[in-house]
């Protein structure tokens, strides 16, 4: 079929970046810092196997049947109570269970965005969100950030300049930079959004993976105008393969989001929902989180030490308090989309920075994931990458 027969919304979606990223993680001879995936050792396989056996033995006919669009009732109740940890007072009717956090982004875009509407994003922002918004034929506006995330004054200026419908933000251990927005800025963002009637789509799948510092309340916790939609996921903290996420929104918004979900997949896997519910409600989540946080903190520290040891002067990078990523900025003359070709020859991979920008900038940046590689692979892979960078810099 000729490309011209596809709808206009299919132009330049950039899905090849994500596909290539996962292809790299599957090559046995590549040390990959590309995928944003949990360590295989962080997946609670035995516990989930036990729960699956029990669920199918006792409730198999129910979980293998159709179910309600909104999600498994007890899980929604549990999630509403769990949201109190972020400062949000929610009830069951505020919660919609989704097929991963990614679906939450799509449902919000489907429900609220018309062609030509403006979406404000950080630069850089989560690479998979960009093609989702492009599908709905929107235009983009940039909100300037620094080492503490979105600058509130820049947000208000961007509202005046672009007249946006929605702000998309990853506030905690941001993908890709690892930066976290502090509480005072979150409060300001919520107040500015409420003042101007701009929706805030808060995508926060990493907040429970904190290794240093104190948790910050969600942006939604400061919302008193009903403009916030919170998206969460169990992909990074339990299992990405189960595809269980959730959205928390004002009670009058949730039914509309459910309507959008009905036209997409009807409901999230019953078995996956029950597995997550039993895992969480029986008290397994807390100890599991402590275990994986300890392991990831060791890996983060090892990655930062290796970058300090092997990366040349002139390269700078973030020092995240949690999450899965380090963001590196190379000298202006280095193009990381070309550098990845040299790196692949050394059997090491990363994600170039350009796909994280809606305007194809960021050519001298890269995202590095530290969660999936072993400690030995972290050291060896970053050594190789440091060598590639030095060669590109003529050192």
- Residue 205 and residue 220 in one domain: yes
- Residue 178 and residue 257 in one domain: yes
- Residue 227 and residue 313 in one domain: no
Domain assignment present for 176: yes
**What is the CA angle 180-182-185, rounded to 5?**
120
Ranges of residues in the chain whose predicted pLDDT is under 50: 1, 25
pLDDT tens for 200-220 read 999 999 999 999 999 999 999
Which of 265, 281, 297 is the last residue before a domain boundary? 281
- Residue 244 and residue 177 in one domain: yes
- CA distances in angstroms from 30 to 217, 307, 385, 393, listed in the order given: 39, 18, 12, 23
CA distance 351 to 344: 11
Domain assignment present for 59: no
One-letter-per-residue 3-state SS of 174-199: CCCCCCCCCHHHHHHHHHHHHHHCCE
Task: Provide the percentage of residues in the chain whose pLDDT is more than 70.
Answer: 95
What domain range includes position 104?
65-281
Q: Give residue 10's pLDDT.
A: 75
| Domain CATH for 25 | 3.90.1150.10
- Residue 139 and residue 250 in one domain: yes
Q: Give residue 23's pLDDT.
A: 59
CA distance 240 to 100: 8
pLDDT tens for 135-185 read 999 999 999 999 999 999 999 999 999 999 999 999 999 999 999 999 999
Give the count of beta carbons closer than 10 Å to the beta carbon of residue 142: 18
Domain assignment present for 12: yes
Domain assignment present for 58: no
**What is the CA angle 156-328-31, rounded to 5?**
135
pTM: 0.94
Query: How many domains does the chain divide into?
Result: 2
- Residue 358 and residue 294 in one domain: yes
The one-character DSSP state at 322 is B
**What is the CA angle 242-247-253, rounded to 5?**
145
CA distance 339 to 18: 18
Q: Bridge partners of 367?
A: 327, 351
Helices 375-392/285-310 angle, 10° precision: 30
């Amino acid at each position: 079929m000729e490309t011209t027969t596809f709808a206009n919304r299919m132009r330049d979606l950039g899905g090849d970046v994500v596909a290539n990223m996962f292809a790299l993680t599957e090559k046995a001879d590549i040390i990959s810092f590309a995928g944003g995936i949990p360590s295989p050792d962080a997946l609670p396989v035995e516990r989930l196997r036990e729960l699956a056996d029990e669920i199918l033995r006792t409730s198999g006919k129910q979980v293998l049947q159709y179910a309600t669009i909104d999600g498994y009732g007890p899980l929604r109740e549990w999630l509403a109570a769990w949201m109190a940890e972020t400062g949000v007072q929610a009830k069951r009717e505020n919660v919609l269970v989704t097929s991963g956090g990614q679906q939450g982004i799509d449902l919000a875009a489907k429900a609220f965005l018309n062609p030509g509407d403006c979406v404000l994003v950080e630069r850089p922002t989560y690479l998979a969100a960009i093609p989702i918004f492009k599908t709905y034929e929107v235009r983009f506006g940039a909100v300037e950030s620094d080492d503490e995330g979105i600058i509130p004054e820049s947000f208000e200026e961007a509202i005046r300049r672009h007249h946006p419908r929605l702000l998309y933000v990853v506030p905690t251990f941001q993908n890709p930079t690892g930066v976290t927005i502090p509480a005072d800025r979150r409060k300001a963002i919520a107040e500015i959004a409420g003042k101007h009637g701009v929706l805030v789509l808060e995508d926060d799948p990493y907040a429970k993976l904190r290794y240093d510092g104190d948790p910050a309340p969600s942006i939604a916790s400061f919302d008193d105008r009903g403009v916030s939609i919170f998206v969460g996921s169990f992909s990074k903290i339990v299992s990405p393969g189960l595809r269980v996420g959730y959205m928390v929104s004002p009670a009058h918004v949730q039914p509309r989001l459910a309507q959008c979900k009905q036209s997409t997949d009807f409901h999230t896997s019953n078995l996956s929902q029950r597995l997550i519910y039993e895992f969480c409600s029986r008290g397994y989540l807390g100890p599991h989180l402590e275990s994986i946080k300890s392991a990831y903190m060791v890996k983060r520290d090892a990655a930062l030490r290796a970058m300090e040891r092997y990366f040349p002067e002139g390269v700078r990078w973030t020092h995240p308090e949690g999450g899965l990523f380090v963001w590196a900025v190379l000298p202006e003359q280095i193009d990381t989309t070309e550098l990845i070709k040299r790196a692949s020859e050394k059997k090491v991979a990363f994600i170039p920075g350009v796909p994280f920008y809606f305007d194809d900038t960021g050519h001298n940046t890269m995202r590095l994931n530290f969660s999936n590689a072993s400690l030995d692979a972290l050291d060896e892979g970053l050594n190789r990458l440091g060598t590639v960078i030095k060669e590109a810099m003529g050192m």
